[in-house]
Structures are given as C-alpha cells and as structure tokens.
Amino acid sequence: MKKSPFRFSIFPLILLLCFTFSCQPQAEEAAEETEPAVDVEADIAAINEIWNQYALGVNTGDLELWISLWTDDGIQMAPGAPAVIGKEQIRAKYESIFSQFIFTMAITNNEVRVAGDLAFSRGTYRASITPTAGGETTEIAGKYLTILERQADGSWKIARDCFNSNVPPQTVSDETQ
C-alpha cells in the first residue's frame, strides 16, 4: 500500500491550526490581566494643578484649601525643623503661620515623573512674607522635592514634602558682623 504525500502535508497544517486556536484564549486572559491604560499627561496636569491650588491656598490664607492637598499620613520636612508627621500635625503647625503672616507665593514646577500610583514633583518657589501685625516683608526663594500619591478616586495628594531655601544659613562670623 502506497502512502499518499497529501496525508503527510496536511498533518502539520492540522497541528499548527490546533496549536494556534488553543493558545488564543490564553492571550485574551493575559490582555484582561494587564493594567488599564494610564494617561500620564493627565496625571502631570493634575499634579501641576496641585501647585496652583497650593499657591492659591497660601496666598489667600485658606488653610482648608491648602491642607486638603495633603494625604492623611503626609510628612513635611521644612528646613531647620523636625519632620511634621500627619495631616493634623501639619494643620496645627500652619494654623498659627497662616494667621500671623500674609504670603505672596509663586511656584514653578520644573519636573513631574509618574510611576504608577506615585509621582514626584521638583521645582522652585518665591515668596514675600509680611507679618499681619505689621512689619518688614521678608523675601524668600527656594526649591522643593515632593512625593505625591494617587488616591482611590484617581486624584493626587501630597504625601511627602521637603523644601529648603536658596539662601545659605548664616555662620557665626556672619552674625557677629
């Protein structure tokens, strides 16, 4: 009995088709497991808006607006002071500052990088600070590096904030002159 060449050529084709169709449901399952598409440009715009709201809160003395930009477990690390841990402690520190001073602040956000539910923001600030009781206005300029966290509703809030002045600290010899 002579074997047909047709039979040998169709067998690999059938195997290839079986293999192809058996893999397809797995590819669909893998596609379902991937993360939803992230709109990084929208995240960057939202983070830039945080800095607009931050300056607005400071400039208008609106502590509630300003504190709403922070996570509950936020940490602020200001120069020359221990870290302030937790939104309520940050609020307590700034209640007296907001009531004792009038601010004119401008923030320039130079860089934002988003990585999943975390982002960092780096920039500079300039501010004029005048005591509400009257007195001389102080001009300051500095820089910041801030970590933000995406919230369950998709919004962003400040989680960790570190900033410092561009003016070097006074030395003992500077103070005695």
- CATH label of the domain that carries residue 72: 3.10.450.50
Residue-level pLDDT at 16? 45
Q: Would 12 be classed as within a structural domain?
A: no
Q: Would 87 be classed as within a structural domain?
A: yes
Residue-level pLDDT at 129? 96
Asked whether the CA dihedral 56, 62, 65, 67 is positive or negative, the reply is positive
Q: Would 117 be classed as within a structural domain?
A: yes
Dump pLDDT digits (tens) for 40-69: 999 999 999 999 999 999 999 999 999 999
Q: Would 8 be classed as within a structural domain?
A: no
Tokens representing 168 are 């070097």
> Would the pTM count as exceeding 0.95?
no
- Which residue type does 39 have? D
Give the angle subtended at the CA of 150 by the CAs of 146 and 153, to the nearest 5°.
Answer: 145
Q: Would 17 be classed as within a structural domain?
A: no
Residue-level pLDDT at 170? 74
**Percent above pLDDT 90 for the chain:** 72
Burial 146-155 (b: 16+ CB within 10 A, else e): bbbbbeeeee
Q: Would 174 be classed as within a structural domain?
A: no
Q: Would 142 be classed as within a structural domain?
A: yes
Tokens representing 77 are 């690390």
Q: Would 29 be classed as within a structural domain?
A: no
Domain total for the chain?
A: 1
* Residues of the chain predicted below pLDDT 70: 1-37, 173-177
Domain containing 114 equals 40-167
